[in-house]
Amino acid sequence: MAYVTRGKSTAQTAIIYDALSEGPIEGLVNGAASIRLDKNPVIGETNNNTFSPQRSVDSGYTASTKIVVDNNSPSIFEYSLTTDGTREIQIIGAAKKGINAGDTIAGNNIIRTDTSIMTFASSDVYDATAHIVPAYLRIDGAGPNGTQLATKITEFINTSAVRVDLAPAQTKSNTSLYLDLVDKVASYDADNNRATLTVGGGIDTANTAIKDGDMYAIDWAGALFVKTLTRRPGGGLRIRSFNIDEYPDENLSPEETQQVRVIGRVFWYSVLR
């Protein structure tokens, strides 16, 4: 073992010897935590299944298709294979969003929401046995000095209230809430810099009442679409595509509207930069 000091930095080198075995080598008992330098594990035993964390700030996620696209070059998905092991992705604020929906009290671990805008569910509680990466509830203005608070949900109380591990530093009324989406990658398309998630999120299936101008996932005569919906007088419906120049509006009669089933409101369809 050797140390080289350059200014305030210290570099350490090591010699690795090959080992011979008469039988099969099963691998490291505790993963990377079994590798030690000066008797210190190179990675903590509680994190020995986490490798190569990567971050992208130029990416897009489409809730209806569960596809994540990384716009960087090289992409975070380059050379990725499902046979390499399980990889989880955290998309900030992509599971749920409630604009002006939350109330907090400084020092109180209970967060409340206006259920007409956003509802909580028991599945929102962070389960460390199911996911390595935590999903944070992000609360605008509730952190120290009015910053955004990122905290984990520890208990589901009811659809309008949850308990969190880190209490807000500020009392806020009608503030915005965002819950991270954490999911496992089901498949990669490295050639197109994208991955498909296992479960996905971003569609509020409890919110099927049409609010004019909002985007919804719909089942239209057996085909699935993501469209902007606007009600028309007499019970008709206008269906508008995001790329309206290529796909003109569809104005349905009340009879034709019966063929449209609203799956849920889409609240996450964007590109992050």
Contact in structure between 168 and 150 (CB atoms under 8 Å): no
> pLDDT in tens for each of the 273 residues of the chain?
444 454 555 666 666 666 666 666 666 777 667 777 777 776 666 655 555 678 888 888 887 788 889 888 888 888 888 887 788 888 888 888 889 999 999 999 999 999 888 888 888 898 888 788 889 999 999 999 999 999 999 999 999 999 999 999 999 999 999 999 888 888 988 888 888 888 776 666 667 889 888 888 888 888 878 788 999 999 999 999 877 777 889 999 999 999 999 877 775 544 333
CA distances from 3 to 6, 14, 41, 64 (A): 10, 9, 18, 53
Q: Can you give the pLDDT at residue 44?
A: 64
Q: Can you give the pLDDT at residue 167?
A: 95
Which residue in 94, 146, 158, 155 sits closest to 126, CA to CA? 155
Q: In the 8-state DSSP scheme, what is residue 7?
A: T
Beta strands in 190-268 (DSSP E): 194-197, 203-204, 215-220, 223-232, 236-240, 250-252, 260-266
User: Residues 118-142: pLDDT tens digits?
Assistant: 888 888 898 888 788 889 999 999 9
User: Residues 248-264: pLDDT tens digits?
Assistant: 899 999 999 999 998 77
Q: In the 8-state DSSP scheme, what is residue 52?
A: -
Contact in structure between 45 and 35 (CB atoms under 8 Å): no
How large is the greatest C-alpha to C-alpha distance in the chain, in angstroms?
A: 82
